[in-house]
Amino acid sequence: MSDYPHRISVPTRWKDNDVYGHVNNAVHYSLMDTAINEWMITKAGFAPLDAPSIALCVESHCQYKAEVSFPDTILLGLRIGKLGTSSVRWEIGMYRASDDALIAEGHFVHVFVDRETRRPVPITGAMRAEMDKLVVTSG
Protein backbone atom coordinates (compact mmCIF):
# COMPACT_ATOMS: atom_id res chain seq x y z
CA MET A 1 0.00 0.00 0.00
CA SER A 2 2.92 2.37 0.49
CA ASP A 3 3.16 2.68 -3.32
CA TYR A 4 -0.22 4.43 -3.36
CA PRO A 5 -0.44 8.03 -2.04
CA HIS A 6 -4.25 7.97 -1.64
CA ARG A 7 -6.10 5.19 0.18
CA ILE A 8 -9.69 4.39 1.04
CA SER A 9 -11.32 1.49 2.83
CA VAL A 10 -14.53 -0.13 1.56
CA PRO A 11 -16.43 -2.93 3.29
CA THR A 12 -17.76 -5.67 1.05
CA ARG A 13 -21.51 -6.23 1.02
CA TRP A 14 -23.49 -9.46 1.13
CA LYS A 15 -24.70 -8.84 -2.43
CA ASP A 16 -21.09 -8.55 -3.71
CA ASN A 17 -20.57 -12.33 -3.37
CA ASP A 18 -21.44 -14.48 -6.36
CA VAL A 19 -22.52 -18.13 -6.43
CA TYR A 20 -18.88 -19.19 -6.05
CA GLY A 21 -18.68 -17.55 -2.62
CA HIS A 22 -16.35 -14.68 -3.49
CA VAL A 23 -16.73 -11.09 -4.62
CA ASN A 24 -17.75 -11.05 -8.28
CA ASN A 25 -15.23 -9.64 -10.74
CA ALA A 26 -17.54 -6.76 -11.77
CA VAL A 27 -17.39 -5.40 -8.21
CA HIS A 28 -13.65 -4.76 -8.57
CA TYR A 29 -14.33 -2.36 -11.47
CA SER A 30 -17.00 -0.57 -9.46
CA LEU A 31 -14.56 -0.19 -6.55
CA MET A 32 -11.87 1.25 -8.83
CA ASP A 33 -14.37 3.76 -10.21
CA THR A 34 -15.43 4.63 -6.66
CA ALA A 35 -11.84 5.22 -5.51
CA ILE A 36 -11.13 7.51 -8.46
CA ASN A 37 -14.31 9.55 -8.16
CA GLU A 38 -14.05 9.79 -4.37
CA TRP A 39 -10.60 11.31 -4.84
CA MET A 40 -11.68 13.69 -7.64
CA ILE A 41 -14.61 15.00 -5.58
CA THR A 42 -13.02 15.19 -2.12
CA LYS A 43 -9.42 16.10 -2.99
CA ALA A 44 -9.63 17.98 -6.30
CA GLY A 45 -13.04 19.63 -5.83
CA PHE A 46 -14.60 18.03 -8.92
CA ALA A 47 -18.34 18.71 -9.27
CA PRO A 48 -19.60 15.85 -11.48
CA LEU A 49 -23.03 17.33 -12.12
CA ASP A 50 -21.98 20.79 -13.30
CA ALA A 51 -18.25 20.84 -14.09
CA PRO A 52 -17.52 22.23 -17.58
CA SER A 53 -15.42 19.14 -18.34
CA ILE A 54 -15.99 15.50 -17.48
CA ALA A 55 -13.76 12.42 -17.41
CA LEU A 56 -14.64 9.62 -19.80
CA CYS A 57 -13.21 6.16 -19.27
CA VAL A 58 -11.52 5.07 -22.50
CA GLU A 59 -9.69 2.02 -21.12
CA SER A 60 -9.87 -0.21 -18.07
CA HIS A 61 -8.14 -3.35 -16.89
CA CYS A 62 -8.09 -5.55 -13.82
CA GLN A 63 -5.78 -8.43 -12.93
CA TYR A 64 -7.08 -10.65 -10.14
CA LYS A 65 -4.57 -12.00 -7.64
CA ALA A 66 -6.60 -13.50 -4.76
CA GLU A 67 -10.16 -14.00 -3.62
CA VAL A 68 -12.04 -11.74 -1.27
CA SER A 69 -15.48 -12.42 0.23
CA PHE A 70 -18.13 -10.81 2.37
CA PRO A 71 -17.59 -9.69 5.14
CA ASP A 72 -14.02 -8.69 4.18
CA THR A 73 -12.97 -5.06 3.92
CA ILE A 74 -11.02 -3.96 0.88
CA LEU A 75 -8.30 -1.33 1.07
CA LEU A 76 -7.88 0.56 -2.20
CA GLY A 77 -4.73 2.45 -3.06
CA LEU A 78 -4.77 5.08 -5.80
CA ARG A 79 -1.95 6.65 -7.78
CA ILE A 80 -1.34 8.13 -11.21
CA GLY A 81 1.00 6.26 -13.53
CA LYS A 82 0.81 8.78 -16.37
CA LEU A 83 -0.55 12.31 -16.54
CA GLY A 84 -0.97 13.76 -20.01
CA THR A 85 -2.44 17.01 -21.25
CA SER A 86 -6.05 15.77 -21.27
CA SER A 87 -5.67 12.18 -20.08
CA VAL A 88 -4.73 10.36 -16.91
CA ARG A 89 -3.90 6.73 -16.20
CA TRP A 90 -5.14 5.89 -12.71
CA GLU A 91 -3.56 2.83 -11.09
CA ILE A 92 -5.36 1.04 -8.29
CA GLY A 93 -4.19 -1.67 -5.90
CA MET A 94 -6.79 -3.62 -3.92
CA TYR A 95 -5.83 -5.34 -0.67
CA ARG A 96 -7.72 -7.49 1.82
CA ALA A 97 -7.66 -5.51 5.07
CA SER A 98 -7.45 -8.54 7.37
CA ASP A 99 -4.07 -9.74 6.06
CA ASP A 100 -2.88 -7.07 3.57
CA ALA A 101 -3.02 -9.64 0.74
CA LEU A 102 -3.02 -8.11 -2.74
CA ILE A 103 -6.31 -9.17 -4.30
CA ALA A 104 -6.25 -7.19 -7.55
CA GLU A 105 -4.42 -4.52 -9.52
CA GLY A 106 -6.05 -2.42 -12.17
CA HIS A 107 -6.06 0.77 -14.12
CA PHE A 108 -8.49 3.23 -15.68
CA VAL A 109 -7.59 5.74 -18.38
CA HIS A 110 -9.73 8.84 -18.35
CA VAL A 111 -9.80 11.52 -21.03
CA PHE A 112 -11.16 14.86 -19.90
CA VAL A 113 -13.61 16.29 -22.42
CA ASP A 114 -15.87 19.31 -22.71
CA ARG A 115 -19.25 18.37 -21.25
CA GLU A 116 -21.14 19.61 -24.35
CA THR A 117 -18.85 18.94 -27.32
CA ARG A 118 -17.18 15.80 -25.94
CA ARG A 119 -13.88 17.06 -27.37
CA PRO A 120 -10.69 16.64 -25.27
CA VAL A 121 -9.73 19.56 -23.02
CA PRO A 122 -6.59 20.15 -20.95
CA ILE A 123 -6.56 19.17 -17.28
CA THR A 124 -5.93 22.46 -15.47
CA GLY A 125 -6.27 24.30 -12.18
CA ALA A 126 -6.91 22.53 -8.89
CA MET A 127 -7.50 19.19 -10.63
CA ARG A 128 -4.07 19.26 -12.26
CA ALA A 129 -2.34 20.50 -9.09
CA GLU A 130 -3.87 17.69 -7.03
CA MET A 131 -3.17 15.07 -9.70
CA ASP A 132 0.49 16.06 -9.71
CA LYS A 133 0.62 14.90 -6.06
CA LEU A 134 -0.49 11.38 -7.07
CA VAL A 135 1.96 10.87 -9.92
CA VAL A 136 4.32 7.99 -9.16
CA THR A 137 7.26 7.40 -11.45
CA SER A 138 8.71 3.94 -11.74
CA GLY A 139 12.38 3.61 -11.66
What is the residue extent of each domain of the chain? 6-134
Instruction: Classify domain 6-134 at the CATH superfamily level.
Output: Hotdog Thioesterase (3.10.129.10)
Peptide bond into 71 cis (omega under 30): yes
pLDDT of 35-72, one tens digit each? 999 999 999 999 999 999 999 999 999 999 999 999 99
Report residues of the chain scoring pLDDT below 50: 139
Task: Give the per-residue pLDDT at 139.
Answer: 45
d(CA 60, CA 108): 4
Task: Give the per-residue pLDDT at 138.
Answer: 61
| pTM of the complete model | 0.94
Task: Give the per-residue pLDDT at 9.
Answer: 97
Task: Give the per-residue pLDDT at 1.
Answer: 83
What's the order of all strands across the beta sheet hosting 73-83? 6-11, 73-83, 87-96, 102-114, 53-64
